[in-house]
Amino acid sequence: MTEQPNTLMNQDQKDASHMITPASTLNNKQTHNKQTDSEPAAPITPHPIFTEVNQRCLIAAEQLKRYSQPSLLPTDTRTAPDLDIGFGQQRALKALYTALDIHASGYHVFAAGENGLGKRTVISRLLSRIAADAPTPDDWVYVHNFTDPRTPLALHLPAGQAALLQQQVNNLWQQAKKRLSQRFRSDQYQSKIEAIKNDTHQKESHAYEALNAEGKQYDLALTFRSFDNKAVFVHPSQLPAEENPPLAHSTKMASSNKSPTATDKTKNTKHHADIHTDDDDNDNNVDSNNKYDDSEYSGREYEAELSNFAQKNHMQKRLSQLTIALEQLEDEANDAIEALHRNIARRALQPLFAPVYELFTTHPLVIEYLKAVFGDMVTHVERIVNGDDEEFVTALLATTPSRYAVNVISSHEPDSGAPVIFEDLPTHLNLLGHVEQITQLGTVTTDVSMIRAGALHRANGGYLLLEASHLLEHPYAWQGLKRALQSRKIKLSSLEQMLTLTGSLSLSPAPIDLDIKVILLGEADLYYQLLELEPEFDAVFKVRADFHDDVVRTHEHELALVGKMADIIDYAKLYPFDRSAQAALLEYLSLQAEDQDRLSLHSDLLIKLLHESNRQARLSGQNIVSANHVTQAIEDMDERSGYLRDLYWDELKNGQQLIQTQGSAVGQVNALTVVSYADSEFGMPARLTAVIQPNIGTGEILDIERDVDLGGSLHAKGMLIMTSYLRALFSQHHALNFSASLAFEQSYAHIDGDSATVSEGCALLSALANVPINQSFAITGSMNQLGEVQAVGGINAKIAGFFDACREQELTGQQGVVIPMANVKQLMLRDDIIAAVKAGSFHIYGVHTLNEALTLMTGLPIDTMNKKGRYRKETLFGKVLSRLMLWDENQDNNDDIDDKKSKKKANKKRKAKRQKKEDKRKAVKKDKDVTTDEHP
């Protein structure tokens, strides 16, 4: 029975049971308690059946613990055998090999086993050996997609080539920028640019000269306005005397490859009017100094002015046509310059790219990418040389612009084998990778250099280990892993968009092919939950590898465990352990396995004990660990986790916890429980009582713990099994004319487990038979419906708990525990308990049936029958039936008395009724006589 810890409260309780001397006592000097009047004094000589059961069930001290033989172990751990990685886990390793040999979809592994077994260490070491001989997977890089920048390209190369490509592209950028800068500063480049400009200048000059000559026919001169440098036609008289001819201005414009520069505004000094015409203003401007008298204004002059206006308009249109032709001429010049730039870039870059092409000639995709880089550099050579464009400026924390960055996602040393990766934080981002973003001046940007690899990228082509519980703690992590394993591709997606449902701009890198084996580590309960809640789990993780908690205790396995100890000691650089320390460790591991023939495989527990034993040796000034150091370390560990246990024992010492380890009592048993809380577990005796209510009910048994919701389902099951057994035992002989109740006294916490079934049966039968139970004994055990006693857990802690209670209240030599015989092989008791058993001051009994337990507890035969097939009166069952019949007779007598009283009362009522009628008749007769006298 397992009980959760609770604070024991002071509770005054009066024991209603009468205390008598148990029949099983062998000590005449034992204190006798008050007896009931209905029970005779217990015989001094024990019953032969009790003697026979006592001898048959008594467990010898040699059966209480299995010791290791130090002489068969290595002298110290330095001479221990080499570690066998798969020691004790052959089933799990076989499942792993099966999964690794099958390359079909879904053959990933769930390694099931308790925490602390060292699953990750075993699997990692195994995979490291396998991976060393496996082919090395390809490297993967992400590069800029010059066709679609939002979709970076994924390139795969042989192992070790990704870093080489990154280095070559970085060198290309550095050398290209340097060489281009040199070429564009050279005299040869400047002379070619001058030639293009001069040619353009000459063509512009000829065009202006031809247009100016055409204007002279209309007495117009080409000039340029000073305020906007715009070409216009004016009358030659409006040109300033010091002004150069218009062609000079056109020459100056062509040499600078700019539009011609306008001259200062012409001043009119004549007494005749000049009309100024341009593209924007066709109004006639008359000089304010030239005043005409209206009387002198003739028709001939008016016609001349109109003719001049039309001529100027015609020339302005010709000038506009020339401007368009000159713009085309400038475009041709710019195209020639761009062609020159590209030609220079090609001739400068081709020698740089040629050797890189040779390095990757067997990788067409890489060659295609390098050609795209070459073309992009040629196309944007001006922006590269000028260095004023962010796209062609070296990125932060990088040596190249992000446009030409080669982002290495996964890289491996050649012939290094397959990778083995353990991801301790399996978030969605850490598993599948992500795209980082940077904020500059309020703008969020990203590029190919900000793609970050995940665990799947690093383990691609190899093996990935994950803790299943950690994976399920992070949102979308399981969905992302499942999608990648099913599709066999790693596709980066924006988790931010998935969570916020926003459409923010982000990259969409091309997916990467995935070839991997994933091993999930977790407990078996989690595996079953995933099978139930995740329909596709079994389709993805088709192989389950079960890790065992313990191993059979043989000499070969002991040596293998010593090899495991030596491996841990070497890794942690601890002192060597001698053979006595090895034996003590093996015995402790057998105790943790709760079996003499098993050894625990919990690595965490072993590592902890090795370190603490090493500390004890260091404190004692020794450089080798012995059994004394191991024992002291175990005691220290037990003391650290014993705070709650000490609180219980303090209440037992102070009398707040009522436990009786001497004498006898009816319907009262010392049951054995295990209190578990966090990492603290210890045994404690608990008083179990049964109370009978005769002539009420039909054999119902009230489980108080269950009715107040303090009993678990297993506890309730044990109660029902025990109830069914008792009903089947007695209902065929007599009606069950009673009801009963069972309770654990001073228990205020949840109770579960069926290990109290036997003790409940003993308490109930004791109360039914009114036979006392020896309080010097404590009992534990489960029971089936046939009365057979079954094994229970925590047997060593339970025995130790009652032994400590007896020692606290003084050992009398009569105390002991009754346990299932099936638990004897699980005994690994403390040395002080074994010493007490050898000295005869404490006893341990193993029973197969409830009858044997009752014989030991009561000292009576249980179910001996006479020739008529009835239980003998001196047996326990005979006493139970006698009480059942006695209660029935008492009920019948009570019924007879009630019947007599009812008849007497009825007769009295009938007699009173007759008397009343007689009195009434006499009264009527008397009245008639009086009437006759008055009227004769």
Q: How many residues does the chain have?
A: 936
Place of tokens 């098993």: 598
- Would you call 798 a catalytic residue per the annotation? yes
Beta bridge partners of residue 378, listed in sequence order: none
Please choose, from the candidates 542, 488, 412, the residue with its C-alpha nearest in 3D space to the C-alpha of residue 106: 542
- Would you call 517 a catalytic residue per the annotation? no
Query: Cα(233)–Cα(225) distance, rounded to whole angstroms?
Result: 10
Question: Half-sphere exposure of 475 toward its Cβ, with a 13 Å CA cutoff?
Answer: 4
Beta bridge partners of residue 141, listed in sequence order: 155, 408
Going by the DSSP 8-state scheme, the letter that residue 218 receives in this structure is: T
Query: Count H helices, E strands: the chain?
Result: 28, 31
Dig out the tokens for 710 from the structure: 């303090």
Q: H-helix or E-strand containing 36?
A: none
Query: Cα(224)–Cα(246) distance, rounded to whole angstroms?
Result: 8
Is 853 within 8 Å of 700 (Cβ atoms)? Answer: no
**Three-state DSSP state, 895:** helix
Question: Half-sphere exposure of 680 toward its Cβ, with a 13 Å CA cutoff?
Answer: 16
Query: Cα(379)–Cα(375) distance, rounded to whole angstroms?
Result: 6
Angstrom CA distances, 192 to 188, 200, 276, 339, 341, stand at: 6, 12, 41, 12, 10
β-strands 517-522, 463-467 pairing? parallel
Dig out the tokens for 532 from the structure: 């139930």
Which of the following is catalytic: 402, 580, 600, 755? 755
Q: Which amino acid is at 266?
A: T
Query: Cα(744)–Cα(747) distance, rounded to whole angstroms?
Result: 6
Is 401 within 8 Å of 393 (Cβ atoms)? Answer: yes
Place of tokens 């665990």: 455
Please choose, from the candidates 835, 836, 758, 822, the residue with its C-alpha nearest in 3D space to the C-alpha of residue 596: 822
Place of tokens 């299995």: 66
Dig out the tokens for 209 from the structure: 């000269």
Query: Cα(843)–Cα(827) distance, rounded to whole angstroms?
Result: 14
Is 754 within 8 Å of 721 (Cβ atoms)? Answer: yes
Residues known to be catalytic: 755, 798
